[in-house]
Structure 1
Amino acid sequence: MDKKYFFFDIDRTLGLDISQVIPADTVYCLRRLQQEGHFIAIATGRLQCDGWRTAHRYGIPSMVSDGGNSLTLDGKVIEMEGLPMENCRALLHELERRHLPWAIFPDNTLLRYTPYEEFRHLGQANLFTTVVQPIDIDQVQRIYKLVHVRPAPGDPPLSTYGLSRLPYITNTYLVEPTDKGAGIRRLLAHIKARPEDAVVFGDGLNDLAMFVPPFFRIAVGNARPELKERADFVTKANDKGGILYACRKFGWL
């Protein structure tokens, strides 16, 4: 059997919803793939430290994280790049001028920093520790992710400043890298593997960038329609044994 290189999204692909709990049949599948000599890794938009909690818990040694900007190989971070700082500073200055609250992730931790007290209750606040303190925008050296309040309906739209921006919860936007495909290619290059041997599993819009040739693309049954249209195969839902079903169907187990 030819060795394959598997990359799995976490939320709603491996994990149930955003719980990071992986169904037992999928855990079994991951273990069997490794026993058969295949390479397995996570491909997630989550920050490295956040994605690694799931990877470590389930014995997954490698990971493309932070939307493609971070690479972990055999438990070691080998690359980790932040967002382009001049672009981020320009966006933050506009947010300040328009009095739109924001928070930044300047470190590889689950701490986010903001000068706005109200941000303690915005943008999945329950998942992170929010530190409220003064921030000099021009002195910030690195930003991995940025969350900000959206303009009110009818107000002028914000410039993207060349940054990827996704609608987030509680009337906010999430600014983060969104090219998992590029991260997968760089990790494959590190281990001298061919992109033609990669298999990617996903469900959401942030997986579109890795649903490209020559990767073999599998959408779980609960995936967004836009992703299913790009898939080479649509399997069962992730809570219905979809990952194990696909791996058996194509003879990888």
Structure 2
Amino acid sequence: MLSENLSLNPNIKLVAIDMDGTLLDEAKQLTAENKEAIRKARQAGVHVVICTGRPKSGILPYAQELGLEDDYVIANNGSWLFKTNDWSPLASHSLSREALEHIVAIFDNTPGINLVFFTQEANYALGKELYPAAIRDAEIENSKLYHTTFEAFLDLDIPVAVAVFMGEETVMDAFQDRADALLSEQVATVRSMDYAYEALPLGVDKGRALKDLAAELNLAPESIMVLGDGNNDLEMFDFAGVAVAMANASDAVKAQADFVTHSNQESGVAKAIYDHIL
């Protein structure tokens, strides 16, 4: 019987876990198996760090459900690093005014797409109207969503962690093909979901944030395990000593991983924790 206060792999001191498609099942719920495995990992002294493209509002209820009251969260694909005891930001990155103007010029109110500015407390959507993808995303992530203009948003003088183009998959495919090279002149880009194409400050990604956290905690990459399923997890895979892809990940993501676990529908996070930590 496994002792609940013994880590059988003392080399792993931190596990960083993506949310959508990884920690959460398709109903956006935490399975009992994942919750129990995370409880045991924390009891064994392992840091459990949610590392996601979601904003704080979309993370907080799950962090509370998991009891992550004294750990760390990486949000908005590395733009924010929070300490969960009081959700104070330990590090933040934001898009410059020049970068925002560059992004908005390329967006040019493209029909069928919203350009959504993610700030710490709310999201602000540009576009001819609010389209279903942006509305669904705000509902999933418990985010306040305001429909505005660029000029009105600038008057608020709020830092933007990430700007996300949102629309239906085929519309986003065509837009990304047209815009990627132009956007990459001033921002980092990643297609995090089929409906979401993100523009971040240059040099900002999950891997960079995880590297900064590791330095803060004096942890070597070899003592870190990461789990993910998407393109926005690959920088984490490159940094960590152990990279685990979900069975539901694309072949390209699996090819960059050291191991493949069960799918998010089958509590793959729990299996990876038991296989590689406990």
Give the Cα–Cα distance (whole angstroms) in 2 for the partners of residues 55 and 167 of structure 1. 21
- Which of 193, 217, 225 matches 2:243? 217
Give the superposition deviation at 1:248. Answer: 2.3
Higher RCO (C-alpha 8 Å, min separation 6): 2
Correspondence 1:131 to 2:161: no
Runs (5+) with no aligned partner, structure 2: 1-6, 139-143
Give the Cα–Cα distance (whole angstroms) in 1 for the partners of residues 63 and 228 of structure 2. 16
- Partner letter of residue 36 of structure 1? A
> For the Cα contact (< 8 Å) 1:179–1:209, is it kept in 2?
yes
Runs (5+) with no aligned partner, structure 1: none
Give the superposition deviation at 1:234. Answer: 1.0
Correspondence 1:143 to 2:160: yes
Q: Tell me the residue number matched to 2:81.
A: 71
- Equivalent positions of 1:1-253 (< 5 A) are 1=7, 2=10, 3-17=12-26, 19-60=27-68, 61-75=71-85, 76=87, 77-96=89-108, 102-105=114-117, 107-114=119-126, 116-118=127-129, 120-128=130-138, 129-136=144-151, 140-148=157-165, 157-158=178-179, 159-160=182-183, 161-163=185-187, 164-166=189-191, 173-176=197-200, 179-250=205-276, 252-253=277-278
TM normalised by structure 1 equals 0.83
> For the Cα contact (< 8 Å) 2:37–2:270, is it kept in 1?
yes
Q: How many aligned positions are there?
A: 247
Q: Tell me the residue number matched to 2:3.
A: none
Q: What SS does structure 2 have at the residue aligned with 1:112?
A: strand
> For the Cα contact (< 8 Å) 2:34–2:267, is it kept in 1?
yes
Give the superposition deviation at 1:99. Answer: 7.7
Identical pairs, percent: 21
Q: What SS does structure 2 have at the residue aligned with 1:201?
A: strand
Give the Cα–Cα distance (whole angstroms) in 1 for the partners of residues 97 and 161 of structure 2. 10
Mean CA deviation greater in 5-14 or 132-141: 132-141
Give the Cα–Cα distance (whole angstroms) in 2 for the partners of residues 189 and 214 of structure 1. 13
> For the Cα contact (< 8 Å) 1:71–1:78, is it kept in 2?
yes
RMSD: 3.0
Q: What SS does structure 1 have at the residue aligned with 2:248?
A: coil
Q: Deviations over 1:69-112 (max 9, x none)?
A: 21112433211221243122122134348788643325212432
For the structure 1 residues 12 and 111, does the alpha-carbon distance in structure 2 shift closer, same or farther, using more than 3 Å as the test? same
Give the superposition deviation at 1:127. Answer: 3.4
TM normalised by structure 2 equals 0.76
Give the superposition deviation at 1:202. Answer: 0.7
For the structure 1 residues 208 and 168, does the alpha-carbon distance in structure 2 shift closer, same or farther, using more than 3 Å as the test? closer
For the structure 1 residues 92 and 37, does the alpha-carbon distance in structure 2 shift closer, same or farther, using more than 3 Å as the test? same
Q: What SS does structure 2 have at the residue aligned with 1:87?
A: helix
> For the Cα contact (< 8 Å) 2:95–2:159, is it kept in 1?
yes
Q: What SS does structure 2 have at the residue aligned with 1:11?
A: coil
> For the Cα contact (< 8 Å) 1:104–1:112, is it kept in 2?
yes
